[in-house]
Amino acid sequence: MKKMDLDNFLEELASKRPVPGGGGASALTGALGIALGNMVGSLTVGKKKYADVTIEMISLNEQADALRRELLELVEKDAEVFEPLSKAYSIPKDDPSRDEVMAKVLKEAAEIPLTIMRKCCEALELIAAYGEKGSAIAISDAGCAAAMCKAALESAALNVYINTRSMADKELADKMNEEVGMMLDIYGHMASEIYGSVSGRLN
């Protein structure tokens, strides 16, 4: 993601410009979610009470840090693939190159939010460990992290679907949609379980 302050990003997101859009917002939300998980780990490392999980927390933090960077890069990548798609829709329908161009840009535009979803699934695996073994004083942050990654997961899914529905290659579209459904089912459920566990411990 190019360096810009949050105000500028939100102003652009709220404008009529095509990018950033839902895909970029999903990636940013996922990055915020895993950053919260990382915070749980950071508050756990060095605490005598959690000495037995210190090595695991350090490893989780390293993975979370890498995931956060990858998700931020996907904010920019989503914008990069959407602009060619936006232009492709303006190609006249009788242009012989239109079908080939559309196939290429639709595939690229669907692959980025699909990748965002995969990264959010990886993030939820880490957040589950943070919630189970991390410092009790930061347990609410693990729940928030799960909720944000679930929102990112579901938002990115819509950005896959809006592209696959226009694909002429229905076999590819079905394959992508099947993976989306699997991730929503498994990891959406995981996120809800983490949130429910945290909520139960706080009430």
What are the tens digits of pLDDT across the range 166-197? 999 999 999 999 999 999 999 999 999 999 99
Task: State yes or no: pLDDT of 143 exceeds 90.
Answer: yes
Structural tokens at position 16? 């009529």
Task: State yes or no: pLDDT of 3 exceeds 70.
Answer: no
pLDDT, position 2: 53
% of the chain residues with pLDDT over 90: 81
Q: How many CB atoms lie within 10 A of CB 28?
A: 24
- Residue 188's alpha-carbon distances to 102, 107, 117, 148, 153, in angstroms, are 31, 24, 11, 11, 8
Q: Side chain identity at 101, as an amino acid letter?
A: V
Asked if 122 and 67 count as a contact pair (C-beta separation under 8 A), the reply is yes
Asked if 146 and 34 count as a contact pair (C-beta separation under 8 A), the reply is no
Task: State yes or no: pLDDT of 88 exceeds 80.
Answer: no
The DSSP call for residue 89 is T
Q: Which residues contact 119 (CB under 8 A, 6 or more apart)?
A: 27, 30, 67, 70, 71, 74
Cα Rg for the chain, rounded, in angstroms? Answer: 19
Task: State yes or no: pLDDT of 5 exceeds 90.
Answer: no
Q: How many helices (H) and strands (E) would you count in the chain?
A: 6, 0
Q: Give the span between the Cα atoms of 176 and 166, in whole angstroms.
A: 13
Asked if 159 and 113 count as a contact pair (C-beta separation under 8 A), the reply is yes
- Residue 68's alpha-carbon distances to 101, 168, 196, in angstroms, are 32, 34, 24
This prediction's pTM:
0.93
Asked if 29 and 73 count as a contact pair (C-beta separation under 8 A), the reply is no
Query: For 6-36, what is each residue's pLDDT tens digit?
Result: 888 899 999 988 888 899 999 999 999 999 9
Task: State yes or no: pLDDT of 4 exceeds 70.
Answer: no
